[in-house]
Amino acid sequence: MKLSEIARKLSCRMEAERDVEITGIAGIEEAGPGDLTFVSNRKYIQHIRHTRASAIILGPDVPAVAVPSLRTPNPYLAFAHALELFHTPVEPERGIHSTAVIAADATLGPDASVGPFTVIGSGCRLGARATLYPHVILYPGVTIGDDAVLHAGVIVRELCEIGHRVIIQNGSIIGCDGFGFAPVGDGTYYKIRQTGRVIIEDDVEIGANTTIDRAAVGDTRIRRGAKLDNLVQIGHGSQVGENTVLAAQVGLAGSTRLGRNVQAGGQAGFAGHQEVGDGAIITAQSGVHGEIAAGAVLSGSPGFDNALWRRTVIALPKLPEMQRRIRALENELERLRGVLQRNKVE
Amino acid sequence: MKLSEIARKLSCRMEAERDVEITGIAGIEEAGPGDLTFVSNRKYIQHIRHTRASAIILGPDVPAVAVPSLRTPNPYLAFAHALELFHTPVEPERGIHSTAVIAADATLGPDASVGPFTVIGSGCRLGARATLYPHVILYPGVTIGDDAVLHAGVIVRELCEIGHRVIIQNGSIIGCDGFGFAPVGDGTYYKIRQTGRVIIEDDVEIGANTTIDRAAVGDTRIRRGAKLDNLVQIGHGSQVGENTVLAAQVGLAGSTRLGRNVQAGGQAGFAGHQEVGDGAIITAQSGVHGEIAAGAVLSGSPGFDNALWRRTVIALPKLPEMQRRIRALENELERLRGVLQRNKVE
Amino acid sequence: MKLSEIARKLSCRMEAERDVEITGIAGIEEAGPGDLTFVSNRKYIQHIRHTRASAIILGPDVPAVAVPSLRTPNPYLAFAHALELFHTPVEPERGIHSTAVIAADATLGPDASVGPFTVIGSGCRLGARATLYPHVILYPGVTIGDDAVLHAGVIVRELCEIGHRVIIQNGSIIGCDGFGFAPVGDGTYYKIRQTGRVIIEDDVEIGANTTIDRAAVGDTRIRRGAKLDNLVQIGHGSQVGENTVLAAQVGLAGSTRLGRNVQAGGQAGFAGHQEVGDGAIITAQSGVHGEIAAGAVLSGSPGFDNALWRRTVIALPKLPEMQRRIRALENELERLRGVLQRNKVE
């Protein structure tokens, strides 16, 4: 495909002395002749000089380059669209596979697709064009929205609701029992029945092997557009706000309420029973508890203001040296006191 | 159901001017007319004034309130029982599903239930009323106790034993190979056959997508009444004590031995080859190694005494300021030395 | 089996006054009469005196002991071989199970084995003697090498390649979509199609419930001989070097490149877009970002030199005390200044 045609389809401005033929998309370091690449992360601008790509997608603030380029306000988004011009996804065979076990009273929307060995419980409802890959399991009473895609091995527990266009990667568990046990008093625990549902709103994507708990009472809710990575734990009764992004291995203890557009880095943890304001950022491996203001950026475990934390972690390895300096100060001060006493000043 | 009847069934004392009709159970913030709610976490006592619930379960130490209430020494446990009065769980269809693949020499106890596509290997034994949801896989030689419940997608590897009344949430793996490799000397590793079993004793509950490794030799054991949350890792040859509670994403390296009633918060880690005494508490995200005394409360990574840790993490963000103060002290002391020398005192 | 015969088979030197009959293998603390045990971890040398084992495998640097022993340069490796003399693994029934759903154009090598309910997509190729346990799912276009073993519940996504002799424990997901979303500008995200493959090279072992992401462009690659434990997260486009070892719950963000023989302890995290040199060691729960030199040993979050970190974490609990000492120094210096001023020295 000609670069000019790509420019047109992606609504980019072409900056090139002559048109070039593009045959694929690649990362800036791996790209070769025929490839279109992109730079969005500023860290990679240095690679532009060395790229062997035939063309490059650039943001508005990058200086003009020798390589034919496509200008756009959002190069990462343009890259996403460019990929779709060159890549045909591997789609599952559609239809209702003969081996699926589907309850007689389940209802399937038009063109819903159900893979081999998938199990659909009593009273489940699938939206139009919903796709259940092989080995998906829906417990009774589950609702799946239009155009939702549940990859192989996804399990949705009883009565949970999955919205439209939701994508769930493999092996994730939606609606497993919350971790609720009442201490009986003799050291043992009594299991609390978990009667709440998990609601996954529209346009959410959930990664692989992630677990989202149902609560004893009330719903656990992942709001519209939120993105959860792999191996994430969402505790019972938690709420994840619209367009909030949780990286891999993040954990939310029970009754955590995240606002909109919150971001949590990998392996971050939330202690639960807390509100986190819109747009807050919790960096990787940090752990936070209590109320968190909108827009706060927190780091560390327990987390505090990121700017202060950055200075703190630079100072941290000086701690043994600081101990020595305090000891030296104490000794010197002791010596001076002696000098003053010998001189009858003190 | 009348509140007075609930009081009777739950052995609570009713404190109310008149009886009220209860139609459901809800959290204190979500409850509305007709709902019974509860307060056990002291944090929520402040919400009592604003609740719209028709009645509330209270502990002995909460002052009398305007809302009709049920008094009990253990409000959380009473709440658990109240839930069971109002909620009928979604139960799987019982019976042996025609699609299950069951080895000819496997034995199933009376009223055992086996879901679609479940695979039961040679020599397996299921107890009375054991429930295997769809897509459970038992490798050969597995024993499942009476009234045990294995949710969809649980896999139990060869020769492992699951006790009576054990509940395993979806996708957990019991008895996968321990991470044992002998360095050969040329940089590569030789896999050590993992011949041990995993033993899950009675009344244990295990969360979703948790992994429990078998060891090269000897058993990995989860003792009676222990509760493990989601995405927990139990390394080869570890032992989890009776009624010990491990929150989500906790990791135990190999040969960790936890005593009774130990508690570990989310994402805590144990370095392995260590004994942890009864009742020890390891707070969230902490990491501990070596012997840990009974009743110790440890925090941080590496963990130390929680009371000291609390003071330490309050001091931590002062570290850059402390550096400046030490520098200022050094400068001032240097200046004083100069003053003293100029005054011939020193 | 006589100890002398074991010595011959394992190429060890026997040190014993008389031959003994060995009937099993056990850990040094659990071993009893008839058992052969071993000591490789120096921590366990103290247990030799008390062992009830009939014989013991020892390294060259352990003093001679009363118990009959086998000397070898690599006792852990000899132990691994000894286990194989006494333990017969539980092997799955071989053959193509009648319930498996295998695409008509998939090709299976000689003696490949496919368990119940396994699904093999279009165009997949299985090597000779490859073993797919029950409930394995191969999306279309997957290649599996000779003698590879995929345990029950493993899912390999479209077009991924699994090398020879690879072992994957239960429930792991190979090739799920990378966590790639382009911010649209209104707070929402646009999913970036993940077109790359995951390549698992020969002799890799992957634990249970681990997730390995495919990238938008380019391959995610686990190089020959690497060992990944359970619940590990490998982000999109990352590369894990030859014979690199990642303990349980480790996380690699996208575009992390680990060299050869890197070691990461449990729950360690890599921030992504970074190179980690050969032989680097990242200790448990540490978090690292940026370039890391070959052979570096890093600890902490964020990580720094392990030797300095060890001194730092010893100093850390002194922080509240250091604050008090700084305050005392400031007060004392203030007092001295007053003394000097009153004495007209200053």
The pLDDT assigned to B39 comes to 87
Given C140, C251, C326, which is nearest A326 (Cβ)? C326
Contact between A221 and A160 under an 8 Å Cβ cutoff? The reply is: no
Q: Are C250 and C231 in contact (CB under 8 A)?
A: no
Residue A83, helix vs strand vs coil? helix
CA distance B7 to chain C (A): 45
Please tell me if residue B304 touches chain A, with a CB cutoff of 8 Å.
no
CATH code for residues A101-307: 2.160.10.10
Q: Can you spell out the DSSP letters for C281-343?
A: EE-TT-EE-S-B-TT-EEETTTTEEHHHHHHHHHHGGGHHHHHHHHHHHHHHHHHHHHHHHHT
B319: chain A residues, CB-CB within 8 Å = 311-312, 315-316, 319
Strand partners, B292: B276
pLDDT of residue C298: 98
The answer, yes or no, to whether the previous bond of C302 is cis (omega within 30 of 0) is yes
Long-range contacts of A339-344 (CB under 8 A, 24+ apart): A339/B340, A339/B345, A339/B346, A340/B340, A340/B345, A340/C336, A340/C339, A340/C340, A343/B345
Q: How far is B339 from chain C (nearest CA, A)?
A: 7
Nearest Cα residue in chain A from B80: A192
Q: Where are the domains of chain B?
A: 3-86, 101-307
Is residue C39's pLDDT more than 90?
no
Position B36: which residue type? L
Q: Looking at chain B, which residue has its C-alpha nearest residue A302? A: B313
With CB atoms and an 8 Å threshold, state whether A189 touches B27. no
Cis peptide before B140 (omega within 30 of 0): no
Residues 6+ apart with CB under 8 A from C88: none
Please check whether residue B301 is in contact with residue B285, taking contact to mean a CB–CB distance below 8 angstroms. yes
**Which residue in B179, B232, B316 has the most chain C C-beta atoms within 10 A of its own C-beta, making it the best mutation to test that interface?**
B179
Which chains form contacts with chain A, at 3 or more CB pairs under 8 Å?
B, C
Mean residue pLDDT of chain C comes to 96
Any B CB within 8 A of C27 CB: yes
* DSSP class of B38: E
Backbone φ and ψ of A36, nearest 5°: -100, 135
Query: Chain B: nearest CA to A121, how far in angstroms?
Result: 9
Name the residue among A229, A280, A273, A228 with its Cα closest to residue A259.
A280
Residue C48, pLDDT score: 86
Residue with tokens 């069951």: B102
Q: Cβ of C217 and A171 within 8 Å?
A: no
Chain C residues with CB under 8 Å of B177 CB are 167, 169, 207
CATH architecture of C3-86: 3-Layer(aba) Sandwich (3.40)
Active site members of C: 236
Round to whole Å and give the CA distance between A19 and A3.
6
C256/chain A closest Cα distance in angstroms: 13
Look at B312 and C333 and tell me if their CB atoms are within 8 Å: no
Q: Which of C141, C180, C191 sits opposite A90 (nearest CB)?
A: C141
| Burial tier of B49 (Cβ tally within 10 Å: 0-12, 13-18, 19+) | exposed
* Minimum distance, in Å, between the CA of residue B282 and any CA atom of chain C: 15
Inspect the interface and report whether the beta carbons of B87 and A195 lie closer than 8 Å.
Answer: yes
Q: What mean pLDDT do residues C50-73 have?
A: 92
How many helices (H) and strands (E) are present in chain B, helices listed first? 4, 37
Higher-pLDDT residue of C188 and A51 is C188
* Whole-angstrom distance, CA of residue B164 vs CA of residue A181: 18
CA distances to A258, B315, B316 from A293, rounded to whole Å, are: 11, 22, 21
Is A197 near chain B, with CB under 8 Å? Answer: no
Rounded CA gap, B318 and C31, in Å? 53
CA-nearest of C314, C306, C256 to C284 is: C306
Dist CA A37 CA A53 (whole Å) = 6
Q: Among C80, C152, C333, whose Cβ lies nearest the Cβ of B329?
A: C333
Q: Residue C230's pLDDT is what?
A: 98
- Residues of chain C in contact with residue A229, where contact means CB-CB under 8 angstroms, are 179, 233
At residue A4, the pLDDT reads 96
CA dihedral (A225, A231, A232, A236) positive or negative: positive
The pLDDT of residue B41 is 73
pLDDT of residue C143: 98
A297 touches chain B (CB under 8 A): no
Give the neighbor-by-neighbor strand order of the sheet with A205-206: A113-114, A131-132, A149-150, A167-168, A205-206, A227-228, A245-246, A263-264, A281-282, A297-300, A303-305
Q: How far apart are CA C315 and CA A245, in angstroms?
A: 36
Compute, in degrees rounded to 10, the torsion defined by CA atoms A13, A18, A24, A30: -100
C24: amino acid identity, one letter: G
B119, C134 Cβ separation under 8 angstroms:
yes
Q: Which of C151, C231, C243 sits opposite B188 (nearest CB)?
A: C243
Min Cα distance A11 → chain B (Å) is 44
Say if A335 is an interface residue toward chain B (CB within 8 Å): no
* Closest by Cα among B63, B62, B66, B42 to B53: B66
C25 lies within 8 A of chain B by CB? yes
**How far apart, in whole angstroms, are the C-alpha atoms of residue B33 and residue B25?**
10
Task: Please give the pLDDT value at position C93.
Answer: 87
Residues of A in contact with C330 (CB under 8 A): none
Q: Report the residue of A99, A151, A176, A313 to disrupt the B interface, i.e. the one with the largest count of B CBs within 10 Å.
A: A176
B161 three-state secondary structure? strand
pLDDT at C182: 96
Does residue B46 sit at the A interface (CB-CB below 8 Å)? no
User: Which 155-194 residues of chain C touch chain A by CB within 8 A?
Assistant: 155, 157-159, 171, 173, 176-177, 179-185, 187-193
- A30 contacts in chain C (CB < 8 Å): 217-218
Segment B192-237, tens digit of pLDDT: 999 999 999 999 999 999 999 999 999 999 999 999 999 999 999 9
User: Exposure of C215 by Cβ count < 10 A (0-12 exposed, 13-18 middle, 19+ buried)?
Assistant: buried
On whether the pTM is more than 0.95, the answer is yes
Taking the alpha carbons at both ends of chain C, their separation in whole angstroms is 90
Per the CB < 8 Å rule, is B182 touching C337?
A: no
Residue ranges for chain B with pLDDT beneath 50: none
Give the pLDDT of residue A146.
Answer: 98
Under-50 pLDDT residues of chain A: none
Name the residue with tokens 């890197």: C262
Q: According to the model, what pLDDT value does residue A345 have?
A: 76
Assess contact for C113 and C92: CB atoms under 8 A.
yes
Q: Do B176 and C116 touch (CB under 8 A)?
A: no
* CB contact (8 A) between residue C225 and residue B195: no
What SS3 state is found at B166? coil
SS3 B77: helix
Residues in A 113-132 with any Cβ partner in C closer than 8 A: 115-117
Instruction: Tell me the three state secondary structure of residue B191.
Output: strand
Distance CA B76, CA A220 (A): 20
Chain A residues with CB inside 8 Å of C190's CB?
77, 80
Helix, strand or coil for residue B169?
Answer: coil
Q: Of the candidates C90, C317, C330, which has its C-beta nearest B139's C-beta?
A: C90
Interfacial B residues in 212-271 facing C (CB < 8 Å): 213, 216-218, 231, 233, 235, 237, 249, 251, 253, 267, 269, 271
Q: Identify the H or E element spanning A119.
A: strand A119-120
Residues 85-104 of A with CB under 8 A from C: 87, 89-90, 97, 99
Q: Name the residue of chain B whose CA is nearest to A237's CA.
A: B27
Instruction: Give the model confidence (pLDDT) of C71-105 as tens digits.
Output: 999 999 999 999 999 999 998 889 999 999 999 99
Nearest to A269 among B27, B209, B285 (CB): B285
Residue corresponding to tokens 């038009």 = A110
Cα C150 to Cα A100, A223, B181, C170, C226: the distances in Å are 23, 36, 18, 8, 16
pLDDT tens profile C117-167: 999 999 999 999 999 999 999 999 999 999 999 999 999 999 999 999 999
Residue type, A127: G
Residues of A in contact with B345 (CB under 8 A): 339-340, 343, 345
DSSP string over B224-260: TT-EE-TT-EE-TT-EE-TT-EE-TT-EE-TTEEE-T
Q: State whether residue A201 sits within 8 Å of chain B by CB.
A: no
Contacts of B248 in chain A (CB under 8 A): 179, 211, 233, 235, 251, 253
| Residue B242: predicted pLDDT | 98
Catalytic residues of B: 236
Tell me, rounded to whole angstroms, the distance of Cα B241 from its chain centroid: 12
- A279-302: b or e for each residue (b if 16 or more CB lie within 10 Å)? bbbbbbbbbbbeebeeebbbbbbb
Q: How many beta-carbon contacts under 8 Å exist across A and B?
A: 211
* Amino acid (one-letter) located at A190: Y
3-state secondary structure of C150: strand
Residue whose C-alpha is closest to residue A34's, from A61, A1, A10: A1
